[in-house]
Structures are given as structure tokens and as C-alpha cells.
Amino acid sequence: MRETLKLKVMEEVQAENDRQAQETRRKFDARGIFAINVTGAPGAGKTTSIISIAKNLKDQSIRVIEGDIESNIDTVKLDRLGIDTQQINTQGACHLDAPVIAKAADALDLQDGSLLFIENVGNLVCPAEFYVGEHVKMLILTATDGSDKPYKYPLAFEKADILLLNKCDLLPYVDFDEEYFMRGVRALNKTAPLIKVSGKTGEGYKEVADWIIQRRSPK
Amino acid sequence: MRETLKLKVMEEVQAENDRQAQETRRKFDARGIFAINVTGAPGAGKTTSIISIAKNLKDQSIRVIEGDIESNIDTVKLDRLGIDTQQINTQGACHLDAPVIAKAADALDLQDGSLLFIENVGNLVCPAEFYVGEHVKMLILTATDGSDKPYKYPLAFEKADILLLNKCDLLPYVDFDEEYFMRGVRALNKTAPLIKVSGKTGEGYKEVADWIIQRRSPK
């Protein structure tokens, strides 16, 4: 009985989330704003990747919504580089949801035509379940986290529009089975490009930036 | 209204979880079973750490409950080493809870006096919120995930009884600020020991094994 009530409430929460996400998406579209939902495990290098992509997109107006359970460490980092950022502290919640993003997007001074990065809470599970109004989902993995991730966290891989394999500068020092990893990725997701990057050396981010530009305005 | 109902259901779920966890704990205690809830982000090296600890505890009867959203990769790994393991697939759920552990513990052939590792879902957020009947919580961090983790995921650090900093063999290749990390840890948790380990070289696990023996039967 309690279990049924729990499931019913969860369904309602999900439906309300999706309704609000669609409304946010309509607002983004009306203003020519392109939104990227950036997900990945804790320490995957989400903020570093946003910074490295931004460096390769100098002609774009870039804004960031920064989701963390606590702290404003990443917002301080982004602000220092002149990237306009709105911090969200979820107070324990394990993902960003549509109501929270709708509010943050209103609070952020979003220029028409902006490119908006929404950095989700570090978590390979829950953020994959919540659409927040984004145009694309970017999933960041790392060479140091092991090659079995697609097999263990399939939903995040299924839903990704682009995958980054970060910390590739450490590949010589770790046992990462690329063939096994790619087989897992392609069983779940046939089309999303996977780009090898390194937050340390900057390798690969030009290609990511080009993909974003192409995806935003296909020619 | 919907929000209030959601919170009420969540409170009920939590209360029911704790009631069941206490019952599991009583069963463990009656049979001299010592349970360790192993948590950490995806790729932190939870399974590798359990294996490395087991190698240093040869005189103990060791059992493992292996929690994953999907796959049985880690169970196969443990079984091959002769470690008796019970796989749980949470089908999307981001953490293990007390009802699930109570069932798995019944299914596993637990000898009286066993040492039971409960490997949680890879997630630095949700598992910290659910007591499953364990005696101690072990939190595994990595040198490759960055030194800001205590500031971003405080609850997991607050609740830990022992912390392992894994992948220490990679410290020379990454920017990991140990002083900043330790300051964050000690602001949240004054007493839990932090032990540097390497799943690759085996460094540090003897010390972890000694801590478990001492904690289990203080002299």
C-alpha cells in the first residue's frame, strides 16, 4: 500500500517535471538559447570541460547554471574566467530537476542566442532520469573510472547525445579496455559521438566545440 | 500540496527503512556477523578494495552483497576469487536500502561470525542517506577525482567511519591538493581514519584490514 502510494507520487513528480521542462524548452527556443545538460560522476571533470569548451567557442555568449549539493567552488572558478554563472545548491538532492532550472534560468541574465551549460550534480544515476528542458545531454566519463561503466550505468549512456572520455592523458598509467568500453557504449547508443579529451592538456575540446556549433545550427 | 505529500511519503519510506535496518542489525549481532557498507563514486574502486582487503584477512569468513543498477561484472570477479557473493540489481534505484539488504542477507549463506561487505551502488550522494543495518560505513575516494569532494558531497564524509583514498599510485600525475582535501574532511569528520591505498599495487590495505579487526573486536 505504502509502496503503491510511493510509486504514484513519483509518477506525479515525473509528470510535473516534464511539463515544466517543456515550458522551459519553449522559452529557450523562443529566445534562440541552446542548452546543454552536462552530466557525469563526481570528479569526471564537468567544470573543467565547460571551461575548455568555452575557450574554443570565443564568439559565443556563454552562460552556466552550476548544480551542486553544497559549495560554490565551481562557480567561483567560472566567474574568475569571466563566465556568467548561477549557482544552485540542491541541499542534498541528487540531481537537478525542471522546476529548479526554470527558476535559475530566470535569475540568470540570459542574452538571446546564448549557449547555456547546465552542470548537473556529480552522479551517474539520478540526473539521467530528469529532463530539464535541454537540447542535448553531454555525458562525461573518465579513463580512470574503468571501462565497465556502460554496463553498470546504462541509462546515462542511452540518453546521451555526446560522450566525452576525459583524463585521456592518464591512459598510459591505467588499465582501461577501450574495445570493451566502446562495445558497451554502442550496445546502448548507436549514434552519439565519443570524443577523447583531456582537461589537463586541452586535447579534444576543439572537436567538442565544433560538434556543438554543428548541432546547434545544422548546415 | 503535491510537495507536502511527496515529503510525507519520503519520511514514511525513511522511517520504514530504519525500522527494517535495525531488525537486520539485531540479526547480524545475534550471529556475530560484522557488516561493512562500502560506498563511493562510480569507478572509485569498491570491488578492487574489497578484494584487496580480503587478501589481508585470510582467516576470516568473508561474504559480499554486490549492489549494482545492472550487470553482474563484480560478482563474477569476486566469485572467481572464491568469495561468496550475492548480486542485487536495483533496476534503476540509486542506492541500496534496508528491505533489499534484509532479503539479500537471507539469500546469502551467511556463516555465523562472517565478515560481510555490502558494496553499494556507485554514487556519492544517495547511499549516504540510507542505513541498511551495517556496523560501519567505509567511504572510498580517489586521487584522480579531485580534492574538492568533501566540500561538494559532505553527507557521505560526515557519516563515514573509515575513509580510503584510492589510486594513490596516480598521485604523481594529477593535481591533488592533499592539504585542502584533509581540511575539508576534518571539518566534517574529526575521527574517521583516512588511509591511502592503491588497488593497483595493494598499498595500504593491510592497514585497512587491521582497522577492521580492531573495530570488530576492540581490545
Contacts of B144 in chain A (CB under 8 A): 43, 142, 144, 167, 170
As for the ipTM of the complex, it is: 0.93
Q: Which residue of B has its CA nearest to A199?
A: B174
Nearest-neighbour CA in chain A from B71: distance (Å): 6
Q: Is A15 on the interface with B (CB under 8 A)?
A: no
Nearest-neighbour CA in chain A from B126: distance (Å): 7
pLDDT for the residue A109:
83
Identity of the amino acid at A37: N
More confident residue, A134 or B105: A134
pLDDT band at B75 (very low <50, low <70, confident <90, very high): very high
pLDDT for the residue B1:
52
Contact B91, B10 (CB under 8 A): no
pLDDT digits (tens, 9 = 90+) for A79-114: 999 999 999 999 889 999 999 999 999 888 889 999
User: Does residue B53 register a pLDDT over 90?
Assistant: yes
Q: B144–A142: do the CB atoms touch at under 8 Å?
A: yes
Nearest residue to A108 (alpha-carbon basis) of A138, A89, A88: A88
pLDDT for the residue A158:
98
pLDDT band at A1 (very low <50, low <70, confident <90, very high): low
**CA triplet B195, B199, B202: central angle to 5 degrees?**
75
pLDDT for the residue B7:
82
User: Does residue A13 register a pLDDT over 70?
Assistant: yes
User: Does residue B219 register a pLDDT over 80?
Assistant: no
**CA triplet A52, A208, A143: central angle to 5 degrees?**
75
Q: How many CB atoms lie within 10 A of CB B199?
A: 23
pLDDT for the residue B9:
84
pLDDT digits (tens, 9 = 90+) for A143-167: 999 999 999 999 999 999 999 999 9
Q: Is B57 on the interface with A (CB under 8 A)?
A: no
Nearest-neighbour CA in chain A from B216: distance (Å): 31
- Closest to A126 (Cβ–Cβ): which among B9, B94, B152? B94
Distance of CA B46 to the CA centre of its chain: 7
Q: A170–B167: do the CB atoms touch at under 8 Å?
A: no
Which three cell numbers mark B130? Answer: 540510507
pLDDT for the residue B2:
67
Mean pLDDT of A202-219: 94
pLDDT for the residue B162:
98
Say what percent of chain B tops pLDDT 70.
99
Mean pLDDT of A17-40: 97
Contacts of A129 in chain B (CB under 8 A): 92
Q: How many CB atoms lie within 10 A of CB A208?
A: 20
More confident residue, B162 or A110: B162
pLDDT band at A2 (very low <50, low <70, confident <90, very high): low
User: Does residue A11 register a pLDDT over 70?
Assistant: yes
Interface test with A, best of B124, B168, B171 (most A CBs within 10 A): B124
pLDDT band at B8 (very low <50, low <70, confident <90, very high): confident
pLDDT band at A3 (very low <50, low <70, confident <90, very high): confident
Nearest-neighbour CA in chain A from B135: distance (Å): 24
User: Does residue B33 register a pLDDT over 80?
Assistant: yes
pLDDT for the residue B146:
96
pLDDT digits (tens, 9 = 90+) for B62-71: 999 999 999 9
Straight-line distance from the first to the last Cα atom of chain B, in angstroms, rounded to the nearest whole number: 54
Mean predicted lDDT score pLDDT of chain B? 95
Contact B88, B72 (CB under 8 A): no
Mean predicted lDDT score pLDDT of chain A? 95
Say what percent of chain A tops pLDDT 70.
99
Say what percent of chain A tops pLDDT 90.
87
Counted across chains A and B, CB pairs separated by less than 8 A come out at 124
pLDDT for the residue B108:
86
What are the residues facing B166 on neighbouring strands?
Answer: B142
CB < 8 Å & 24+ apart, contacts of A177-182: A177/A147, A178/A147, A180/A147, A180/A148, A181/A147, A181/A148, A181/A149, A181/A150
Integer Cα distance of A177 and B20 in angstroms: 41
Q: Is A154 on the interface with B (CB under 8 A)?
A: yes
Q: Is A70 on the interface with B (CB under 8 A)?
A: yes
pLDDT band at B107 (very low <50, low <70, confident <90, very high): confident
Contacts of A73 in chain B (CB under 8 A): 148, 151-152
Contacts of A155 in chain B (CB under 8 A): 69, 92
User: Does residue A62 register a pLDDT over 60?
Assistant: yes
pLDDT digits (tens, 9 = 90+) for B12-28: 989 999 999 999 999 99
Contacts of A94 in chain B (CB under 8 A): 94, 123, 125-126
pLDDT for the residue B187:
98
Q: A70–B154: do the CB atoms touch at under 8 Å?
A: yes
